[in-house]
């Protein structure tokens, strides 16, 4: 294998480096490096030195398990500094053989020519739909004849300083950033079906420090948002039962439930409290009450964001929930009740090779970085100790992959 893709998922709770061969029907995992995250809070760098050390440890584990050197990677990005807007761009068609990649590129450039503050930068520009000589909508105008091409694009921006700090930590660990990719876009690529994207669906990725949303309608992204809360907030609430944070995290994972009515009212847990005090007993129903209240609040805020987008009435396929918090028993029922729509829980599928550690909802973003990154940009380098690296894709190939990913065919 000479062409491998590398994804680096830098989260609040964990850092995951994956080296893989992305194939048509599956993703063959060559190497994995998972390390507890340090120096990140709510998707933003809080300690550059600690984060660099954690990234280095994750990358080293992936290199050791695969025998390949990590030089470049696609990197996940989240945080409450993320914002999005929809914009239109129009250009005249220059060729006589119909719409070309160059026309698409110029239309996208026109759409992204919007005024943004000096402290923000464009992260993604994703086509939503096209209009060709007033014909609206056109799903894929390549090769079609006309004089005027318009595109409506979804533009995602990020804080320049937040991106620069994260890039600094990654480069200090010896890895170059090929491209930053927004978390819910990566997660959606790993777990959504083409039918769900077409009918209208929202993906809600509840991680350790943030909850990431992306709304897909008619096969492409219509709205994205990152909310500054996640599983760490649940753990912090549990500490008010007078137990240390690490103990609260372990109790949440092993005994947590989103519905007090679904657990045995007589079941108790024995845990070590703060200090040198004797072990204490906690009712499992009491633990579930704490978790239910916080999760319901988080889902309610996600629902408000969905309503604010104005697209809540178009989500015929409902919601897909992923991320580490989705592992909590009772999550689907609570989410369906709070979001008032059909809900399914999802995790990465179609993984082969060294994939056992990745078959969980908390790795949806990590896995999604691979295929989406490959389609959006050049192939990243994973250089065997005795061989050369992968070659990059041309601009035309890159644009072709991008438009095929976000604007699939109608099936004809």
CB count within 10 Å of CB 81 equals: 20
* The pLDDT of residue 407: 46
Residue partners of 117: CB distance under 8 A and separation at least 6 = none
Rounded to 5 degrees, φ, ψ at 116 are -125, 150
pLDDT digits (tens, 9 = 90+) for 218-228: 999 999 999 99
Give dist(CA 306, CA 373) in Å, integer: 26
What DSSP designation does 262 have?
G
Encoding tokens for residue 375? 């389609």
> Residue holding tokens 């933003």?
44
Q: Return the CATH superfamily for domain 195-345.
A: ATPase, nucleotide binding domain (3.30.420.40)
**What pairs with residue 5 in β-bridges?**
20
Instruction: Please confirm whether the linkage preceding 227 is cis (ω < 30° from 0).
Output: no
Give dist(CA 239, CA 248) in Å, integer: 6
* The pLDDT of residue 98: 87
Give dist(CA 205, CA 313) in Å, integer: 20
Is there a contact between 207 and 229 (Cβ–Cβ < 8 Å)? no
Look up the CATH number of domain 83-157.
3.30.1490.110
Give dist(CA 48, CA 111) in Å, integer: 35
Distance separating the N- and C-terminal Cα atoms of the chain: 35
Domain boundaries, given as residue ranges, for the chain: 83-157, 195-345
What DSSP designation does 120 have?
E
Residue partners of 276: CB distance under 8 A and separation at least 6 = none
Give dist(CA 15, CA 28) in Å, integer: 20
Nearest Cα neighbor of 241 from 294, 166, 192 is 294
The answer, as to whether pTM is greater than 0.75, is yes
- What is each CA distance from 175 to 55, 171, 386, 400, in whole angstroms? 9, 5, 19, 27
What pLDDT tens digit does each residue of the chain (412 aa) get?
447 999 999 999 999 999 999 998 999 999 999 999 999 998 899 999 999 999 999 999 999 999 999 999 999 999 989 999 999 999 999 777 789 889 999 999 999 888 889 999 999 999 988 999 988 878 889 889 999 999 999 999 999 999 999 999 999 999 999 999 999 999 999 999 999 999 999 999 999 999 999 999 999 999 999 999 999 999 999 999 999 999 999 999 999 999 999 999 999 999 988 877 788 999 999 999 999 999 999 999 999 999 999 999 999 999 999 999 999 999 999 999 999 999 999 999 999 999 999 999 999 999 999 999 988 864 334 445 433 333 334 344 444 445 445 544 444 4
Residue partners of 2: CB distance under 8 A and separation at least 6 = 384, 387, 388, 389, 390
Encoding tokens for residue 363? 């790795």
């Amino acid at each position: 294998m000479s062409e491998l893709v590398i994804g680096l998922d830098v989260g609040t709770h964990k850092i995951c480096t994956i080296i893989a061969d992305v194939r048509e029907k599956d993703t063959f995992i060559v190497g994995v490096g998972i390390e507890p995250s340090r120096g990140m809070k709510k998707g933003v760098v809080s300690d550059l030195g600690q984060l660099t050390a954690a990234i280095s440890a994750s990358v080293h584990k992936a290199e050791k398990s695969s025998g390949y050197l990590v030089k470049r990677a696609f990197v996940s990005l989240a945080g409450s500094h993320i914002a999005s807007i929809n914009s239109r761009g129009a250009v005249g068609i220059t060729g006589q053989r119909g719409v070309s990649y160059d026309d698409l590129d110029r239309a996208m450039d026109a759409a992204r020519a919007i005024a943004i503050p000096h402290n923000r930068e464009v992260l993604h520009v994703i086509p939503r739909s096209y209009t060709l000589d007033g014909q609206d909508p056109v799903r894929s105008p390549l090769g079609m004849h006309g004089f005027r091409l318009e595109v409506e694009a979804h533009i995602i921006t990020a804080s320049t300083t937040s991106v620069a700090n994260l890039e600094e930590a990654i480069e200090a660990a010896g890895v170059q950033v090929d491209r930053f990719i927004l978390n819910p876009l990566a997660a959606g690529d790993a777990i959504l079906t083409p039918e769900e994207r077409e009918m209208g669906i929202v993906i809600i990725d509840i991680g350790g420090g943030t909850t990431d949303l992306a709304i897909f309608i008619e096969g492409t992204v219509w709205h994205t948002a990152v909310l500054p809360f996640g599983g760490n907030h649940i753990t912090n609430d549990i500490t008010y039962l007078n137990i240390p944070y690490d103990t609260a995290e372990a109790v949440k994972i092993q005994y947590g439930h989103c519905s007090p009515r679904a657990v045995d009212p007589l079941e108790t847990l024995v845990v070590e409290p703060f200090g040198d005090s004797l072990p204490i007993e906690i009712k499992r129903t009491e633990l579930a009450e704490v978790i239910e209240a916080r999760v319901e609040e988080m889902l309610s805020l996600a629902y408000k964001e969905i309503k604010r987008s104005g697209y809540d009435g178009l989500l015929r396929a409902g919601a897909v929930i992923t991320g580490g918090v989705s592992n909590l028993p009772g999550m689907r029922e609570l989410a369906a009740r709070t979001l008032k729509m059909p809900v399914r829980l999802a995790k990465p599928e179609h993984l082969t090779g060294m994939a056992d550690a990745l078959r969980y909802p908390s790795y949806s973003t990590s896995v999604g970085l691979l295929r989406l990154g490959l389609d959006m940009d050049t192939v990243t380098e994973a250089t065997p100790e005795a061989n050369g690296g992968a070659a990059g894709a041309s601009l035309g190939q890159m644009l072709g992959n991008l438009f095929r990913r976000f604007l699939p065919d109608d099936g004809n």
